[in-house]
Chain A
Amino acid sequence: MAAILDLHLRKVSSAAHLSSKCCSSGQQERDSLPFTECGVTVQKHQFVSFLLNFLREQSSPALAHGTPAKTPNRPRPAAQTGGLSERRACRSAGSATTSRSSSRVQLFSPSSSVSPGAESSDRRHGQRPSPFHDEMGFWDTGSKKPGRGGGHSRSREQLSPPSTLNFNNLEDFPPVGSSPISPLISKPSRRINPTPVSAERPRSKPKTCFTSTPFTKLSSPPMGAEVLDGSMRVGSPLSLQEERELLKREKCYLKQVHNCVYFAVTVLENQFQLVAHLDKGALRLLAENERVASFSPALRDLLIQAQGKSSAKVSFDEMQSDCSANPAIIPFQPDTDNRSNFGNDKAFHTFKKQRDVFYEALREWEDLHNEPGWNFDASLGGRIRGMMNQLTSAGNHSHFARLFLKQLVQMCKGPRMSGAPGEPPDADLLEMLGADGLGRLKRLEERLIQPHGIVGPCPPPSFPGHQEFFRDFIQTASCCQLNQHLQDSLCQQLLQLDEVSILSPSASIKEEDEDGDMEQQDEKQRFSSVLLLARLLAKFLGFISFLPYQTSERPSREIQEASVALRSKVSVPVLDVCAVLDNSVRRRRTILTVPWLVEFLSMLDFVGPLLLCYRTALGTLLLLYRRLQLRRCADVCYLNKLLLVSVLGWLFHDCIPLVDQQLLYFCCPFLSEFRKLLAAFVSGSTAKSGGIIRKITPTSAELKDTPIANRSQQKLQLEQAFFHNQPPSLRRTVEFVAERVGSNSVKHMKATLVSELMDRGEKILRDKLKSLNFNTSKLNESICALLCDAGLEALERATRFCDEKSLEAVRTLLPEETSPTVLRTSESITKRLAAEKACSWLSANITGKLIKDL
């Protein structure tokens, strides 16, 4: 949301004639300056935070009712604010901090100076055809200038800071109340605090400070200072004064609550294509907002329309992958776990015990960690450290590290599971409600018991769900051998994931039609699972790597300097972030690499960002962030970019739409803050109570069909369970065969049945068209009948095709020695998967395709 306001700010302010002073000839030129320009974008970004607070401050006394229910926190003492922003600062990865802090710095940059960011990034920029520049006009009010494609010249002229406001003058935005900026103090203010978020969320107390910035005190030179060239830091007192002046005027204008609301609504209206990407819930809340309705009925209508189009119902709070009753344990596999995999009997038997201790600890944690007063170290520390000692004496860490990581991935790879994720559902409830109903019940439970606090757009990094167990385990075990093995393995896996091939669009788009393209759908899914996994691994890699350097407080300047000197000489970074990043930029794979790098860097200790390797990487990320510009909605990759913008974002120009709304919200949970704020507004305007009232719509349970659903649900669970104790290669084989056979089946249908149908359809059309008195509805009827039969036939034939081919392929690919039962089961799972894939594509596409083609 910040971006929305941010990006539009400029226009509105000029619309409000606040910048009359600048309405000289230069005005138009400035207006048309693309907002991609680093300085401007980032400044505005930052401004939005202040602005929002400011708006709230201003409007709450003015509006008789209906202000967001935030009043309790409004008059924040400075100290408290500091604390909050400190906490918030935790989230800000070095990069984000960098961008913001440097933006503050840049605030003072004179209009005449050349933007070093733009300069240095132009070098990269030159390597690719710029996807950004052709959109320039998009951001301005229509005064797009011709011939602005270049970038170089442009970047020079637009260096003048935004004409109107000194966005960074904190004094003018009281709610944030931080100390004045001193751009030259060179201390990064970011802090990663590895304490659980939950601990900081007292139940049911809505946290406000939606708009606070991610740092406390300002703020360091940009991490990427050397990349960006120091000149940007030079401030111009003249322009500063000018800005202050303007700011005052703007403040005046915004003192009127109506102006505030008008301003906000106009911003939303003008940034509608961005707003349209919010989740359904937020869109609904916005549409139902009476102020939106009264100020711009047109916007409300657009919002209502957008709800229908919103690509997916994102239930980001509770994205729960399934409620499978299978406890997600890593099975014993003779291939890797039996005696022959160990150096001696002792190691084998020690590991046998370790596995039991580990799972015992996990179960105990699941059962008890939410109990008040339960403490990880006190309850499990003794056992875990005992286990580490045994591991050490048996020299067995690698085996345990492998189990540990596999378990981590198994439990945490998917979107966050809610509640106690490993907790299998109650059988009776499952019986009653079905899996889907149970999922809903769990979400309801979550909504009722979990604090719905507003944490602001920049919450600290967290270890939700089971991740907390693994983090605490590592901390409690405090075993350097284990950590080393974990690091090695995490690093290796990450680098592998980073290399995963992402199908080029040409390959997939040519093959199928745009919409229902199943290959692309699969690719999306695959990408999303790779991305989620990489983020998880990167977070843990970062956590372990920087664990030795974590301090609860920022070290003094002297200590920082000493440790920078020491660490840059002696410690070898676990991951060559610069190389990874450069490689990714060069190969245009930032959509995958950047999100996980951000996770890694978010774990940096206080001193980390000062080390050359990380400083450089953060600088590069900062540049990427500043160069990023969102295109129009129509762009298929809009969400790719939005993700990057949101994680810190930038993208050269990948053209594969890999990101969907669900993934975006999962990777950027802070996006949901927007909805929370709107919800807070609703409850504030109706209930006027301190807490957020959650709207829970009661629905009656649908009992029909549940037994069948349950049975088939159970079968699916059984299929999953079947793979559990089989060698992993079996599952891979089945999935691969199903995927290929399903796809081939569709191709076969298209080549045979569909083309035959086309011919027949065409013939009908031609015949009817020839007869002069043809009847449109009759024509439709006959074509529909044709399609209906054809659809059924296609499904039948596709299924038959899948049956035959799956059988052959599975038989050939599985080992001769596979037991008959296992073979049979594998065959039929393959058949089912393949047929499902083929049929879902066919039923979704055959009608549409035919009608279109005819």
Chain B
Amino acid sequence: MRLSRAEYKDIVRATEQLRPTRQCMKILKDRFPNHSQSTLLSIFSLEYQKRTKRTISRHHAADVVESHYQRYLNEAKARPAAPVLLEMANEVDLSPALMGRLILDRFLQDVSGEMHSKAVLNSMLKEPSLIPDQVLANNIYQCTINDCCYGPLVDCIKHAIGQEHEVLLRDKLKERNLSFLDENKLRTMGYDKTPDIILEVPIAVEGHIVHWIESKASFGDDYSHRTYLNEQFWSYWNRFGPGLVIYWYGFIGELDCQRDRGILLKDCFPTDIVTLCHTSHQQSPEKEDND
């Protein structure tokens, strides 16, 4: 969904006090019934990440970590069945998954000294049963499943959604009989930067030439779009010419200002496509008939 900046700001304002929990998502959805849940969740997620980036450092200070850890140890001892970590996270306004990570990291220092690796930490976060402490494992698990912004579960969901939309994109292209090279093929050919799709024969979308398509299963806000532009989209432009970005969960309409330059934003697979149509067995004759 293409949002005006004003609409977007309304939503952002509504997310300011929310926590990354299911209940909060429900509140948001009720407040904006006309927007899709995915869009709202994506906007919230991006906003929450910004909030976390601003505040995370204060939770990382050694003395704060230590005090969190001691408090966890005490409370877990007193109430082994209670979701102690989750409560703590909500109380200090930190993402539960990040709180879990912080405590597990500190716990591993005690168990295996300073030397434990990031890989071990990550694998335990993904698979809490590997954690030698049963109570901590439960707590970590609760944190992970109750966090809709951070943590291995969310990462996994995001990845799956990304894949799903790439598949969706490829299906749409095949449906339209547009042949393309995908990222994997491009890598094997030695391209240094690769969009999701390069069209073998370019198309015109809403009057703009498109050589490549990038699929983003997220909402395009200022920050993420700027980052993508600098790290990806302009690089594609520099190599393949103009292209199309699909933000499946919508974007701030005002960001779609590089059309003439050669970066077109859409929130769905475009319908206004003009092709060279050189095949005799044309797929979508309706376009041609319009001429």
Do A and B truly interact?
yes
A707 near B291: Cβ-Cβ < 8 Å: yes
B21 on interface, CB distance cutoff 8 Å: no
B152 on interface, CB distance cutoff 8 Å: no
What residues of chain A lie closer than 8 Å to B238, measured between beta carbons? 329, 355-356, 358-359
Q: Which residue of A is nearest B190, CB measured?
A: A338
Q: Which residue of A is nearest B231, CB measured?
A: A356
B204 near A331: Cβ-Cβ < 8 Å: no
A423 near B200: Cβ-Cβ < 8 Å: no
CB-CB contacts of B194-211 with A at 8 A, as 1s and 0s?
Answer: 000010111110111101
A566 to B51, CA, bound (A): 67
A706-743 with Cβ < 8 A to chain B: 707-708, 710-711, 714-715, 717-719, 721-722, 724-725
- The answer, among A331, A717, A822, for a CB contact under 8 Å with B240, is A331
A824 to B276, CA, bound (A): 10
B259 near A427: Cβ-Cβ < 8 Å: yes
B246-291 with Cβ < 8 A to chain A: 259-262, 274-276, 278-279, 291
A821 on interface, CB distance cutoff 8 Å: yes
CB-CB contacts of A400-432 with B at 8 A, as 1s and 0s?
Answer: 000000000000000000000001111100110
Q: How many residues of B contact A (CB 8 A)?
A: 35
B29 on interface, CB distance cutoff 8 Å: no
A725 near B241: Cβ-Cβ < 8 Å: yes
A721 near B278: Cβ-Cβ < 8 Å: no
- The answer, among B190, B198, B208, B235, for a CB contact under 8 Å with A725, is B198
B242 on interface, CB distance cutoff 8 Å: yes
A359 to B242, CA, bound (A): 13
A722 near B201: Cβ-Cβ < 8 Å: yes
Q: Which residue of B is nearest A828, CB measured?
A: B278
Q: How many residues of A contact B (CB 8 A)?
A: 49
A721 near B209: Cβ-Cβ < 8 Å: yes
A325 near B260: Cβ-Cβ < 8 Å: yes
A374 on interface, CB distance cutoff 8 Å: no
- The answer, among B192, B237, B259, B291, for a CB contact under 8 Å with A338, is B192
- The answer, among A331, A340, A349, A827, for a CB contact under 8 Å with B278, is A827
A338 near B278: Cβ-Cβ < 8 Å: no
B278 near A824: Cβ-Cβ < 8 Å: yes
What residues of chain B lie closer than 8 Å to A725, measured between beta carbons? 198, 202, 211, 240-241
A226 on interface, CB distance cutoff 8 Å: no
Q: Which residue of B is nearest A831, CB measured?
A: B278
What residues of chain A lie closer than 8 Å to B276, measured between beta carbons? 715, 718-719, 722, 825, 828-829
Q: Which residue of B is nearest A423, CB measured?
A: B260
B207 near A714: Cβ-Cβ < 8 Å: yes
Check A718/B202 contact, CB under 8 A, given A325-B242, A431-B207, A825-B276: yes
- The answer, among A338, A352, A822, A827, for a CB contact under 8 Å with B201, is A822
A340 near B234: Cβ-Cβ < 8 Å: no
B207 near A724: Cβ-Cβ < 8 Å: no
A711 near B291: Cβ-Cβ < 8 Å: yes
- The answer, among A348, A707, A822, for a CB contact under 8 Å with B200, is A822
B228 on interface, CB distance cutoff 8 Å: no
A819 on interface, CB distance cutoff 8 Å: yes
What residues of chain A lie closer than 8 Å to B204, measured between beta carbons? 714, 717-718
What residues of chain B lie closer than 8 Å to A334, measured between beta carbons? 189-191
- The answer, among A352, A359, A825, A829, for a CB contact under 8 Å with B234, is A359
B239 on interface, CB distance cutoff 8 Å: yes
A355 to B237, CA, bound (A): 11
A297 on interface, CB distance cutoff 8 Å: no
Most buried by A among B179, B201, B261: B201
A356 near B234: Cβ-Cβ < 8 Å: yes
B193 on interface, CB distance cutoff 8 Å: yes
What residues of chain A lie closer than 8 Å to B239, measured between beta carbons? 329, 331-332, 355
Chain B residues near A (Cβ < 8 Å):
179, 189-193, 198, 200-204, 206-209, 211, 234-235, 237-242, 259-262, 274-276, 278-279, 291
Can you list 23 A-B pairs with a CB-CB distance of less than 8 A?
Answer: A325-B242, A326-B242, A327-B242, A329-B237, A331-B239, A337-B192, A355-B238, A355-B239, A359-B238, A425-B260, A427-B207, A427-B260, A708-B291, A711-B291, A715-B274, A715-B276, A717-B209, A718-B276, A719-B276, A725-B240, A819-B200, A825-B278, A828-B278
